[in-house]
Structure 1
């Protein structure tokens, strides 16, 4: 019985960590101008905001680690690892 409780707590922690990552990526995507995305050679701001917005909504509605949530998490991580540094690099120059 205790193992199931621990598993439930771990699932809850993973859910909230992934939710925070997706919300952070979405809010970060909203902060840069549309021209910045074009200058960095990335997908448009509208596209990234749509992808990340759907990722946040999917996390709320679908919950667990379904294939859709996995794809949404990967999209958020790609944004944070590739797109966000490219956009931030434009402002450091």
Structure 2
């Protein structure tokens, strides 16, 4: 009984991690390379390749592929996706196409 609960919990956590990695990959791919440069972050190519690798690791970490790779590697992949979503994504959204950097306490005019 406990083993079944653990298996379903592992499947749920793996799917959430894969969803996070896939969302980060799509977000990185849909913004222009200029947004990354204006935000002062690494290039779009860097982030898309890192997040594509993280998504690939997330697929291989699913319980369907047991034994292919250790689960701790998926933790590293989730950390990369988390860094992108928490740090890079807000910066490139502010500096997206047609937007200027906010100046002053109430934003730009």
Q: Which residue of 2 aligns with 1:76?
A: 81
Q: Which residue of 1 aligns with 2:41?
A: 42
Return the alpha-carbon distance in structure 1 between the equivalents of residues 58 and 22 of structure 2.
10
Q: Which one has a bigger Cα radius of gyration?
A: 2
Gaps of 5+ in 2: 64-69, 101-109
Paired residues, number: 92
The 10-residue stretch of structure 1 (18-27 or 64-73) with the greater mean CA deviation from structure 2: 64-73
User: TM-score under structure 2 normalisation?
Assistant: 0.78
User: TM-score under structure 1 normalisation?
Assistant: 0.91
Shift of 1:67: 2.9
Q: How does 1:12-27 map to 2 (within 5 A)?
A: 12-27=11-26
RMSD: 1.5
Tell me which protein shows more helix as a share of its residues.
Answer: 1
Runs of 4+ in 1 over 4 A off after TM superposition: none
Gaps of 5+ in 1: none
Return the alpha-carbon distance in structure 2 between the equivalents of residues 62 and 8 of structure 1.
13
